[in-house]
Amino acid sequence: MATEILMPALSPTMEEGTLAKWLVKEGDSVTSGDILAEIETDKATMEFEAVDEGIVGKILIPEGTEAVRVNTPIAVLVEEGEEVGEVSAPAPASPQQTAEPAAEPESTPAQASAPAAPEADLSPDWPEGTAMKTQTVREALRDAMAEEMRRDGEVYLMGEEVAEYQGAYKISQGLLDEFGSKRVIDTPITEHGFTGIAVGAAFGGLKPIVEFMTFNFAMQAIDQIINSAAKTLYMSGGQMGAPMVFRGPNGAAARVGAQHSQDYAAWFMQVPGLKVAMPYSASDAKGLLKSAIRDPNPVIFLENEILYGRNFDVPDMDDYTVPFGKARIWREGTDVTLVSFGIGMSYALEAADKLAEEGISAEVIDLRTLRPMDTATIIRSVMKTNRCVTVEEGWPQGSVGSYISSVLMTEAFDYLDAPVINCTGKDVPMPYAANLEKLALVTTDEVIAAVKHVTYR
Amino acid sequence: MATRKSARKPNVSAEELTTYYREMLLIRRFEEKAGQLYGMGLIGGFCHLYIGQEAVVVGLEAAAEEGDKRVTSYRDHGHMLACGMDPKGVMAELTGREGGYSKGKGGSMHMFSKDRHFYGGHGIVGAQVPIGAGLAFADKYKENGRVTFAYFGDGAANQGQVYETFNMAAIWQLPVVFVIENNQYAMGTSQARSTSTKDIYHRGEAFGIPGDMVDGMNVLAVKEAGEKAVAHCRSGKGPYILEIKTYRYRGHSMSDPAKYRTREEVQKMREERDPIEQVRAMLLEGKHASEEDLKAIDKEIKEIVSQAADFSRESPEPQLDELWTDIYAEAIPQEVN
């Protein structure tokens, strides 16, 4: 049976090319892999190989022909003894006469309809009457890991100095003693490598907790976090993903300079496939970390060194978890909505106290998780206060606040009585000098000034 | 099924040789067809063919046991066919259709099969190496006796994460075979221009990891080396490196004219070292098979590939709502965006 040889596409973008040279002539026998012709694309001259074996029955497009459309028959291959039938050579190829390459995918509106702003979940985090105990964020994080490791033998912790040193910031204190070196693993200083190994372990059925000594070092491993951990579930059509937690201190500590002080909240929040938590209080640190470890997806868990030693009330109950995607309203108010997360909450809450003294009532929302983000709670609040100020330590351009602003513009435009203001860290690498560092960070005074601006006081 | 006999020529059974012939031929014909479909515009984007390297995966799969894992780079079609994935599902993924292994959402470079313990298909050069060690880490943790094959090329062998992984695989004694598929060109850059050492496997010595150089055009040599490496890993002695010298006949990808090497170099390799021709000659010379027998196999393979190609064209494009699925392992609750 005669087989048509078609003009090949030799690059992702090629639509036509020049048939520069035939390397076979009519009557030649060819076998798979033989070079038939040279074809020039806009980028290169390519050799074009035979796939089938047979005899070149007829050459339909002579060499030197330019602008041969992809998929135009250029020759006919016949079997031994077979006559070339009436194969009409196409006229000098023109786009109209040739088959279009492949079926064009239907153009699709890329957006699914956005869900209407629903009711926010205002249910309490723990049952009424639960006894409380005072704990530091550090202790709460350790308890969360220990409880989950007791609960599930597939959960393990790896990172630099997590085992014998008991944690660079003592978050993993005591875990080696309880769980042993099989499950609490000191790694060499090799973030890219051990993050990749943890991703592989997650593919292989374990639930790794990867501690970064700081998230600044996670930049060494960003490829494994984004390209391998976050995207695999999608790329595999749902067959496999990376149930794991990446955790460690994030953002500025004190006087550690530009390379140790970045807030990565906005970066990670951008990535579909990741979940991102950034707790402020000890109870949220505990409840969210337990949820993160149980979550079947890769979770970025952003802690803060300054908060580690801070005390909070933590519910004294057996299995306390906090769901992702549910903001917490720390204080109700009527004049302005302050939205923050992580250490930004310190400024927001302090500002709210001071504003109250001046007769301005601020509602303060702690997002707790940035992806999923409980925008419904923000919108509900802004519908009441008609004003919003966001507070974070990260940089201004492409910040968490700028995303919240865009959501409010879209979903609550008619309720806004003033433009949303984003209070952020300054648009500079973190300086070392004490006075400059102070200037680079967001301050309570700036939050107060922003509130006065949006309330026209 | 491959037998566990030594690969020394006198002991190779006709059945074993025939299996290798069939498996290598399937990869070769599949890849030729993929190239053809690419030429017709049915396969898009990047498409990296495995033609010439068939003996590497077929030989190593013969050394593997059920449950062992494998992970590789973007030149992954051969690995998938060799570990028993369905040619239809692979080809339909290449054409971006619903019937593909990733429902059309992964493409040539990103395909997976949990059933066949194939963990990708990774598009970032070298990233699969720590992932492979991580799979081995999970197996060691579970004490299940499995071994992982982590394949990478001579190009990836210059990525830093490979050596970070060698170090950890050695200190943690992970059951992983690092397979360097040295086809001598990292895209257009020859090994001599990119790599400080002549033999890449020697780099394992710095980490205390043993290794061998293997003739990757000889499936029996690959299988024998694979068995040695697997036995080492399975016995708890830690990782092993196999540098398998091979050759790709085609360009780096479909859009590579391969001007960095001569046509004579490629032709010489095809004529003198072709892995399929070598087994074919062994079958005929050893009177294990007749020309007619082999023709029947050729026909059978052609039919499998033809059916895969038909399936890949007939399978519909994914439903549009597939855009929004498989982003998270469970749906994000409706009340948040």
Rounded Cα distance, B149 and B241, in Å: 10
- State which residue of chain A sits closest to B117, comparing Cα positions: A204
- Give the mutation candidate from A239, A276, A293 for the B interface (greatest B CB count, under 10 A): A239
Whether B262 maps to a domain, the answer reads yes
Whether B321 maps to a domain, the answer reads no
Whether A362 maps to a domain, the answer reads yes
Rounded Cα distance, A348 and A42, in Å: 58
Does A206 contact B124 at a Cβ distance shorter than 8 Å? no
Looking up residue A38, the CATH number of its domain turns out to be: 2.40.50.100
Q: How far is CA A258 from CA A51, A69, A251, A254, B281, in A?
A: 58, 55, 10, 11, 65
Indicate if A338 and A398 belong to the same structural domain.
Answer: yes
Does A44 contact B255 at a Cβ distance shorter than 8 Å? yes
pLDDT: is A149 or A34 the higher one?
A: A149
A58 close to A82: Cβ distance less than 8 angstroms = no
Between the two ends of chain B, the Cα-to-Cα distance in Å is 51
Rounded Cα distance, A219 and A305, in Å: 18
Rounded Cα distance, A55 and A241, in Å: 50
Whether A115 maps to a domain, the answer reads no
Looking up residue A232, the CATH number of its domain turns out to be: 3.40.50.970
CB within 8 Å of A2: residues ≥ 6 apart: A57, A76, A77, A78, A79, A82, A84, A85, A87
Strand order, beta sheet including A275-277: A184-186, A155-159, A207-211, A244-249, A298-303, A275-277, A369-371
**Phi, psi for A245 (deg, rounded to 5):** -125, 130
Question: Does residue A111 surpass a pLDDT of 60?
Answer: no
Give, to the nearest 10 degrees, the angle between helix B291-314 and helix B275-285: 140
Whether A117 maps to a domain, the answer reads no
Indicate if A227 and A306 belong to the same structural domain.
Answer: yes
Whether B220 maps to a domain, the answer reads yes
Indicate if A38 and A187 belong to the same structural domain.
Answer: no
- State which residue of chain B sits closest to A185, comparing Cα positions: B172
Task: Please count the structural domains in chain A.
Answer: 3
Confidence of residue A102 (pLDDT cuts 50, 70, 90): very low
Indicate if A150 and A70 belong to the same structural domain.
Answer: no
Whether B155 maps to a domain, the answer reads yes
Indicate if A334 and A296 belong to the same structural domain.
Answer: no
Rounded Cα distance, A422 and A438, in Å: 18
A288 close to A236: Cβ distance less than 8 angstroms = no
Q: Where among A265, A292, A315 does a domain terminate?
A: A315
Whether B43 maps to a domain, the answer reads yes
Q: Does A72 touch chain B (CB under 8 A)?
A: no
Set of chain B residues whose Cβ sits within 8 Å of the Cβ of A277: none
Indicate if A349 and A266 belong to the same structural domain.
Answer: no
Closest CA to B13 of B231, B294, B220: B220
Catalytically active residues of A are 191, 260
Rounded Cα distance, A198 and A37, in Å: 48
* Amino acid found at A197: I
Q: Where among A82, A108, A143 does a domain terminate?
A: A82
Indicate if A310 and A404 belong to the same structural domain.
Answer: no
Task: Please count the structural domains in chain B.
Answer: 1
Rounded to two decimals, the pTM is 0.88
Rounded Cα distance, A294 and A429, in Å: 36
Set of chain A residues whose Cβ sits within 8 Å of the Cβ of B105: 234-235, 237
ipTM: 0.92
Whether B323 maps to a domain, the answer reads no
Indicate if A252 and A161 belong to the same structural domain.
Answer: yes
Rounded Cα distance, B153 and B244, in Å: 9
- Minimal CA separation from B331 to chain A, in Å: 11
- State which residue of chain B sits closest to A326, comparing Cα positions: B336
Rounded Cα distance, A364 and A360, in Å: 12
Of residues A49, A190, A203, nearest to B168 (C-beta)? A190
Indicate if A218 and A158 belong to the same structural domain.
Answer: yes
Indicate if A137 and A281 belong to the same structural domain.
Answer: yes
Q: Where among A253, A282, A315 does a domain terminate?
A: A315
Rounded Cα distance, A407 and A420, in Å: 11
To the nearest 10°, report the CA torsion of A392, A393, A399, A405. Answer: 20
Instruction: For residue B297, count CB atoms less than 10 angstroms from its CB and return exposed for 0-12, middle for 13-18, buried for 19 or more.
Output: middle
* Amino acid found at A187: T
Indicate if A304 and A363 belong to the same structural domain.
Answer: no
Whether A93 maps to a domain, the answer reads no
Looking up residue B185, the CATH number of its domain turns out to be: 3.40.50.970
CB atoms within 10 A of CB B174: 26
Of residues A9, A192, A198, nearest to B134 (C-beta)? A198
Whether B329 maps to a domain, the answer reads no
Question: Largest Cα–Cα distance in chain B?
Answer: 71
pLDDT digits (tens, 9 = 90+) for A265-322: 999 999 999 999 999 999 999 999 999 999 999 999 999 999 999 999 999 999 999 9
Q: Which pLDDT score, from 0 to 100, does residue A85 have?
A: 60
A331 close to A352: Cβ distance less than 8 angstroms = yes
Q: What is the mean pLDDT of chain A?
A: 91
Whether A104 maps to a domain, the answer reads no
- The whole-number average pLDDT for the span A24-37 is 90
Lowest mean pLDDT among A27-31, A160-164, A415-419: A27-31
Closest CA to B108 of B87, B124, B122: B122
Q: State the residue range of the domain holding A245.
A: 132-315
Rounded Cα distance, B229 and A98, in Å: 53
Whether B298 maps to a domain, the answer reads yes
Set of chain B residues whose Cβ sits within 8 Å of the Cβ of A123: none
Q: State the residue range of the domain holding B229.
A: 9-309
Confidence of residue A96 (pLDDT cuts 50, 70, 90): very low
- Minimal CA separation from A12 to chain B, in Å: 5
Token reading at A299: 């979770």
Closest CA to A51 of A25, A30, A37, A76: A30
Indicate if A389 and A358 belong to the same structural domain.
Answer: yes
pLDDT per residue of chain B (337 residues) written in tens, 0 to 9: 444 444 445 578 999 999 999 999 999 999 999 999 999 999 999 999 999 999 999 999 999 999 999 999 999 999 999 999 999 999 999 999 999 999 999 999 999 999 999 999 999 999 999 999 999 999 999 999 999 999 999 999 999 999 999 999 999 999 999 999 999 999 999 999 999 999 999 999 999 999 999 999 999 999 999 999 999 999 999 999 999 999 999 999 988 888 899 989 999 999 999 999 999 999 999 999 999 999 999 999 999 999 999 999 999 999 999 999 999 998 544 444 4
Q: Which pLDDT score, from 0 to 100, does residue B8 have?
A: 46
Confidence of residue A146 (pLDDT cuts 50, 70, 90): very high
Q: Which pLDDT score, from 0 to 100, does residue A118 have?
A: 56
Whether A91 maps to a domain, the answer reads no
